[in-house]
Amino acid sequence: MSDEGLFTNAFRALPENVAAEQSLLGAILTNNKAFQLVDDICEPEHFAVPIHGRIFEVCRKLVHQNVEASPITVRPHIDGDVLLGRQSSGEVLGALLRAMVGIINARDYAAAVRDAWLRRRLFRACSETLDLCCRPGDASASDIVDGLESSLLALARGMAEEMPTVSLEASIEAARLNALEASARGTGLAGASWGYRALDRMTGGLLPTAIYVLGARPAMGKTSLGFGIATRSAAAGSSVLFWSGEMKAEQLGARAGAAWANLSTQSVFTGRRYDIPEDVETGEREPLSDWQWRDLEAGERAAAGLSLEIDSQPAITVARLRSRARRMARSRKGLDLIVVDYISLMSSGSERADMSPYERITLVSRQIKQLALELQIPIIVLAQLNRENERREDKRPQLADLRDSGAVEQDADVVLFLHREHYYLKKMADGGLARKEKEAAEDYANRCSAMAQRVSMSEGRADVIFAKNRQGPTGTCPLRFTDHTTWFRDAHEDELSPAWLRPDMMEAA
């Protein structure tokens, strides 16, 4: 298309269907049964003529109050309205009645009004994109693409047809058939596996369209657990997309390699041994031994065949994540699960400079929920908690600790918290227990000894607390945490056991 063609398109009139608006409103004002036919199709903002949208809004209000919506009852509500412009309310209502051609085609008129509205939204989205393309230096091409994708995603949701209502009998039948399918799979799970038996038992698996929010304070290991779930779920046969806003793919790979080879993550990053002391004279550490390199290579082979893709694009928008997820879903391996690490690092795609962090995260959360519904897959969202738990004597997190994270809690189907008591006890012990006034030396020594015992007993233990669960019970699941590899296992697993097992590896074992 020539530049002249682009210029002409930018100044075309916005799409509208005034005749359909008049016919629809005339039908409603003549017979309120017409409103019942179109109430699930139209909204006041769908009308191109503002006063028409106002009249539709008044009609809805009256009908919902069991008052007949007629020119006589509607007129007092619009008399003197600035949206009338130079026309009187009588002139506008008279024109609507003259345009009425019967209520039989009311749904067709409503569909035409909605279609014109969608076209206007698409026109505006394209016009704004064109404006950004012609405005030098304000936004990069990738930012413009992200913005357009966000607009089109919102537009696509607006085009979705209304879901039909379902009877209770049909709902129970669907649930029974889903249960039969789950039973036939032999896993006892209704969805994808978490990769951890304790979490699978608590939830019955990761259910399609559900949002799982995993919250934790820094240093608890939420990235390690999130990546562990992604890896072990992939090992159980799921196809997983993991987005990391903090760590590059090679850093995550180092963690997985360390977990498989039972090496310190520092050893994998540096190629040096941290399982033995450094040389006293030189202060240097020995390079990894041949057997340790072989163990790392074994980790590579164990990861072969896992359908786990890592995306480390910083500040990604939900629109771009959706694009990558849809591409993966269309591939031969498909897509069963997305893990987001973490929500505060995502971009909303909005250019509003005055948007608060709360508003931004709320917008991102809503978009993620829509993505789960569109792709019909579960999404695990990692979130950082506020500092409130650190001010409490009991450090276990609570739902209130998510209150700075937008509407994440409301959008979530399941909220779970990761808590390691050992982290707080060790900090307390390392800082030294203050001796109380008039406390006997023996009592102080006993208190210090009891604290040391609590630190020792809590080492390697982690709790996953289900604080909200729309699909089942709340409660706590124990896990095992290996500090030097930063890897989580089920409580019954030995820390020297494989970090993950593919189905073919389990059969061989």
pLDDT in tens, 458-479: 888 999 999 999 888 899 999 9
CB atoms within 10 A of CB 299: 22
Give the type of residue at 384. Q
In contact, 462 and 479? CB cutoff 8 Å:
yes
DSSP summary character for residue 195? S
**Same domain, residue pair 249 and 362:** yes
**Same domain, residue pair 106 and 208:** no
d(CA 144, CA 135): 11
**Same domain, residue pair 107 and 252:** no
pLDDT at residue 141 greater than cutoff 80: no
**Same domain, residue pair 132 and 230:** no
Residue closest to 17 by CA, chosen among 124, 101, 116, 103? 116
The per-residue pLDDT for range 266-297, each reduced to its tens digit, is: 888 888 888 888 888 888 888 889 998 999 99
The residue with greater pLDDT, 319 or 136, is 319
Is residue 437 exposed (0-12), middle (13-18) or buried (19+ Cβ within 10 Å)? exposed
Residue 155 maps to a domain = no
The per-residue pLDDT for range 113-125, each reduced to its tens digit, is: 998 998 888 888 8
Q: Which of 138, 155, 174 is the last residue of a domain?
A: 138
Structure tokens at 404: 């700075």
d(CA 87, CA 28): 21
Residue 164 maps to a domain = no
Round the average pLDDT of the chain to a whole number and report it.
84
Interhelix angle 50-64/89-99, nearest 10 degrees: 80
Residue 159 maps to a domain = no
Spacing of C-alpha 232 from chain mean position? 20
**Same domain, residue pair 265 and 197:** yes
d(CA 264, CA 485): 5
* Least confident window among 53-62, 219-228, 328-337, 396-405: 396-405
Containing domain of residue 38, as a range?
A: 3-138
Per-residue confidence band for 377, with pLDDT thresholds at 50, 70 and 90: very high
**Same domain, residue pair 131 and 199:** no
Residue 401 maps to a domain = yes
**Dihedral through CA 508, CA 267, CA 309, CA 386, nearest 10?**
120
Per-residue confidence band for 404, with pLDDT thresholds at 50, 70 and 90: low
d(CA 296, CA 141): 40
**Same domain, residue pair 198 and 325:** yes
């930018």: which residue's tokens?
A: 10
**Same domain, residue pair 217 and 74:** no
Residue 425 maps to a domain = yes
**Same domain, residue pair 134 and 197:** no
Predicted confidence at residue 509, as pLDDT, reads 45
Name residue 287's beta-bridge partners: 272
Predicted confidence at residue 6, as pLDDT, reads 46
| Contacts for 287 with CB less than 8 Å, ≥ 6 apart | 271, 272, 273
Q: Which of 107, 138, 169 is the last residue of a domain?
A: 138
Q: Is the peptide bond before 109 cis (omega within 30 degrees of 0)?
A: no
CATH of the domain at 415: 3.40.50.300
Predicted confidence at residue 84, as pLDDT, reads 87
Residue 168 maps to a domain = no
CATH of the domain at 120: 1.10.860.10
Give the type of residue at 391. R
Q: Which of 105, 138, 171 is the last residue of a domain?
A: 138
């002409």: which residue's tokens?
A: 8
Name residue 481's beta-bridge partners: 488
Residue closest to 249 by CA, chosen among 308, 307, 295, 208? 308
Q: pTM score, two decimals?
A: 0.71
**Same domain, residue pair 108 and 207:** no
Residue 344 maps to a domain = yes
* Least confident window among 211-220, 330-339, 440-449: 440-449
**Same domain, residue pair 109 and 247:** no
d(CA 252, CA 497): 20
**Dihedral through CA 476, CA 479, CA 483, CA 487, nearest 10?**
-120
Predicted confidence at residue 380, as pLDDT, reads 95
Percent of residues in the chain assigned helix, strand, coil, to nearest 5: 55, 10, 35
How many structural domains is the chain composed of?
Answer: 2
**Same domain, residue pair 48 and 123:** yes
Residue 154 maps to a domain = no
